Amino acid sequence: SIEEHNNILAFEAINTYYPYEVNNEGSGIGLENLKKRLNLIYPNKHKFSQSISNNLFNIKVVIQL
């Protein structure tokens, strides 16, 4: 989901959790790249969180525009 309200952009993605060791797909650098880009483009104006619960992987990004 994605929404914007009062110059705040909020994005949330939820997906089934498959640990990297199990599926051996991809390079595993996507989230690290996202964190670096957020720090470069929106320093002190963003929040990033990730969690795993009930076999679901969840990320949330909130950006002050």
Q: How far is CA 59 from CA 3, 16, in A?
A: 15, 12
Query: Residue 15 above 60 pLDDT?
Result: yes
50 C-beta neighbours (distance < 10 Å), count? 13
Instruction: Give pLDDT tens digits for 35-55.
Output: 999 999 999 999 999 999 999
**pTM score:** 0.82
Q: Residue 3 contacts by C-beta under 8 Å, 6 or more apart in sequence?
A: 9, 10
Q: Measured on CA atoms in the order 36, 40, 41, 45, is the torsion positive or negative?
A: positive
The identity of residue 30, as a single letter, is: G
